[in-house]
């Protein structure tokens, strides 16, 4: 993975000093709260319902065991002993003190981490495929480009006060696990006819109150032109994006208003002017950064491991875990392992300091000291020998991390909701807990199969409900929490917007309704057909009748 050089160190250290100074000026009254607000947000510091919240960047979801141990240490020393992994592959601390945040940032800087631009109207943490560099289905590892984008977008002189937040996602795989079509700019690695690597460039996707799927504005952009091209896109947006209404300020509204063709035309016209202006990094720098992402030297191993078969026969949960929580690696004899942060009855995405330390130790011992965070709020050990699975799972299971539900109905995305968030209209966490308790039977949820449930506690859709096979949206109706049910969304390469099924439910009714939807699917599915395929084949009507007629 990427290692800072003295310049990177110098920049994050200077940033910590800057933020320390900003906090001091705020405390002395030299900065107004209105002035301080965007500055603290650009350092990931929010003011929530009960306390400040600090969001720390995990660039493109990749970190080392050492970095994870530092996150655990911060959770213990400055927070209440836990953290929350987010859909932007970041981690949030819910209880830091304002006065201590500069110290936290220094502790992060010491292990090459930061909270730069994890919030605010600027370019946010670039997200990527959690299996990047460790999956059998990719053209190339997207992370070198994500790192190039991270550097270019940090403290950008022109694009740090955009109309609204701005999110990039990049994938190098055929299966889109990074929801690139739901981003302000989505990048998909492509190979052209001559075997050269480049990008399909998409723009104008986003969730929030106006869900839009991004449109392709260029089929193939040579890799050497990445930064100049996105600079052209950002300039068009910075100049013309709406600033009169924050709900209409995202690039999706601009692209929709002017049309994707016109947005592409203006981008191309601007790019023609700047593409040779030394905005792009030189080939030597691309090579320098790519070298950090050289695949680890894994010795090819047998794909069959007797210890795995033995434990699988004895232990159904382990067998399920191997089936659901491991995926094909580039190197024979290895898998990538998804550590579920969705224990049944638990809080989606939360991990305790002890759990973080354990994951760090397992990464050091079994996975080249590498860890990933997925946008689905799980942790990944990317390079695991199949023969080590029994030992890893046994340790995970003892620590409450052995849940075998990756990709299944209880592997839900859920935002923090009204328990923490100042924007929320409804609670998310108790609903997620109720759902995982209702679907606590491992045999049953495995029979239901791959199913993505995503829940948000307000219209801002941090919980990606628009992209859920089943989405749940909490709203406030005259002081009551009401939950709407949406069906048919997808965050993958076949991206689609989930549609509201009908009237909402209370917190108990929504769980019953979800169960009825699942029952319809089980009754209607054809051989091997996953939920989304059945829904697309039979439509909403059957589900609607089952959910509302019986009610």
Partner 1 sequence: MTLLSLTGIKTHAWTVLAEDAQPQDGASVLVPLARLREDGDAIFAVAGKVGVLVPTDTVYTDLADLTNKIALAAIEFPAFGDGRGFSLGVRLRKDLGFKGEVRAVGPVIPDQALYLLRAGFDSIDVADKKRVGAFETALARFSDFYQTDFTGARALAHARHGTAGERIAS
**Binding region for partner 1 (CB under 8 A):** 3-7, 9-11, 14, 17-18, 21-22, 25, 30-31, 35, 38-39, 121, 148, 151-152, 154-163, 235, 238-239, 243, 273-274, 277-279, 281-282, 284-285, 288, 292
Q: Which of 212, 140, 206, 211 is nearest to 170 (CA)?
A: 140
- CB-CB contact of 512 with 493 (8 Å): no
Residue among 179 and 227 whose Cβ is closer to partner 1: 227
- CB-CB contact of 540 with 499 (8 Å): yes
Q: How far is the CB of 31 from partner 1 (least distance, A)?
A: 7
d(CA 99, CA 24): 9
Q: How far is the CB of 101 from partner 1 (least distance, A)?
A: 16
Residue among 91 and 236 whose Cβ is closer to partner 1: 236
Q: What angle do CA 263, 251, 158 make, to 5 degrees?
A: 90
Q: How far is the CB of 163 from partner 1 (least distance, A)?
A: 7
Residue among 21 and 191 whose Cβ is closer to partner 1: 21
Residue among 31 and 188 whose Cβ is closer to partner 1: 31
Residue among 237 and 318 whose Cβ is closer to partner 1: 237
Q: How far is the CB of 19 from partner 1 (least distance, A)?
A: 10
Residue among 13 and 103 whose Cβ is closer to partner 1: 13
User: Could you tell me which residues come within 8 angstroms of residue 372 by beta carbon, excluding any fewer than 6 positions away?
Assistant: 61, 62, 63, 89, 130, 131, 132, 379, 380, 382
Give the residues across from 342 on adjacent strands: none
- In this structure, how many other beta carbons lie within 10 angstroms of the beta carbon of residue 284? 8
Q: How far is the CB of 201 from partner 1 (least distance, A)?
A: 20
Residue among 12 and 363 whose Cβ is closer to partner 1: 12
Q: How far is the CB of 443 from partner 1 (least distance, A)?
A: 49
Q: How far is the CB of 516 from partner 1 (least distance, A)?
A: 47
Residue among 116 and 255 whose Cβ is closer to partner 1: 116
Residue among 222 and 502 whose Cβ is closer to partner 1: 222
Query: How far is the CA of 29 from the CAs of 19, 23, 26, 54, in angstroms?
Result: 15, 10, 5, 22
- CB-CB contact of 176 with 494 (8 Å): no
Give the residues across from 92 on adjacent strands: 55, 84
- In this structure, how many other beta carbons lie within 10 angstroms of the beta carbon of residue 160? 17
Q: How far is the CB of 404 from partner 1 (least distance, A)?
A: 38
Q: How far is the CB of 16 from partner 1 (least distance, A)?
A: 11
DSSP H helical ranges for 449-504: none
Contacts of 101-107 spanning 24+ positions with Cβ under 8 A: 101/19, 101/23, 101/43, 101/45, 101/52, 101/54, 102/16, 102/19, 102/20, 102/23, 103/78, 104/54, 104/74, 104/78, 105/15, 105/16, 105/19, 105/43, 106/16, 107/70, 107/73, 107/74
- CB-CB contact of 500 with 516 (8 Å): no
């Amino acid at each position: 993975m990427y290692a800072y050089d003295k310049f990177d160190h110098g920049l994050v250290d200077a940033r910590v000093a800057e933020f320390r100074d900003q906090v001091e000026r705020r405390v002395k009254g030299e900065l107004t709260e209105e002035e301080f607000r965007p500055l603290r947000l650009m350092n990931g510091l929010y003011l929530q319902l009960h306390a400040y919240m600090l969001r720390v960047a995990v660039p493109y979801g990749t970190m080392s065991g050492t970095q994870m141990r530092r996150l655990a240490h911060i959770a213990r020393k400055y927070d209440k002993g836990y953290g929350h992994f987010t859909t932007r592959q970041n981690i949030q601390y819910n209880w830091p003190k304002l006065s201590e945040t500069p110290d936290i940032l220094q502790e992060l800087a010491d292990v090459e981490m930061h909270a730069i631009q994890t919030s605010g109207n600027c370019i946010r943490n670039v997200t990527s495929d959690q299996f990047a560099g460790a999956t059998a289905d990719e053209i190339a590892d997207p992370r070198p480009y994500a790192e190039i984008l991270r550097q270019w977008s940090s403290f950008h002189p022109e694009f740090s006060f955009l109309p609204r937040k701005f999110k990039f996602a990049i994938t190098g795989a055929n299966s889109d696990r990074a929801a690139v079509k739901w981003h302000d700019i989505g990048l998909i690695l492509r190979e052209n006819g001559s075997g050269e690597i480049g990008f399909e460039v998409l723009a104008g996707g986003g969730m929030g109150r106006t869900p839009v799927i991004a449109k392709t504005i260029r089929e193939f952009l040579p890799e050497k032109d990445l930064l100049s091209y996105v600079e052209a896109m950002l300039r068009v947006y910075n100049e013309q994006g709406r600033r009169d209404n924050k709900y209409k300020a995202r690039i999706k509204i601009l692209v929709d208003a002017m049309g994707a063709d016109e947005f592409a035309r203006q981008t191309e016209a601007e790019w023609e002017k700047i593409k040779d202006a030394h905005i792009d990094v030189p080939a030597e720098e691309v090579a320098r950064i790519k070298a950090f992402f050289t695949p680890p030297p894994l010795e090819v191993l047998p794909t069959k491991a007797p210890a795995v078969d033995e434990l699988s026969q004895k232990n159904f949960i382990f067998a399920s875990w191997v089936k659901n929580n491991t995926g094909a690696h580039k190197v024979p004899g290895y898998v990538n392992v998804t550590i579920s942060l969705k224990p049944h009855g638990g809080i989606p995405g939360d991990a305790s300091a002890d759990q973080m330390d354990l994951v760090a130790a397992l990464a050091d011992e079994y996975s080249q000291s590498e860890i990933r965070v997925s946008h689905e709020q799980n942790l990944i050990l990317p390079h695991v020998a199949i023969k080590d699975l029994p030992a890893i799972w046994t340790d995970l299971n003892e620590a409450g991390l052995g849940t075998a539900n990756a990709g299944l109905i209880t592997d839900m995305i859920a935002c923090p909701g009204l328990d923490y968030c100042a924007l929320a209209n409804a609670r998310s966490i108790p609903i997620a807990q109720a759902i995982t308790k209702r679907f606590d039977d491992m045999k049953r949820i495995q029979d239901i199969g791959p199913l993505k449930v995503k829940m948000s506690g307000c219209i801002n859709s941090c919980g990606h409900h628009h992209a859920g096979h089943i989405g749940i949206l909490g709203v406030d109706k005259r002081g009551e929490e009401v939950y709407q049910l949406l069906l048919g969304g997808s965050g993958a390469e076949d991206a689609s917007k989930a549609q509201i099924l009908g009237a909402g439910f209370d917190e108990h009714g929504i769980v019953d309704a979800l169960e009825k939807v699942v029952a319809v699917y089980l009754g209607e599915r054809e051989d091997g057909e996953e939920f989304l395929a059945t829904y697309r084949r039979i439509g909403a009507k059957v589900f609607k009748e089952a959910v509302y007629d019986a009610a």
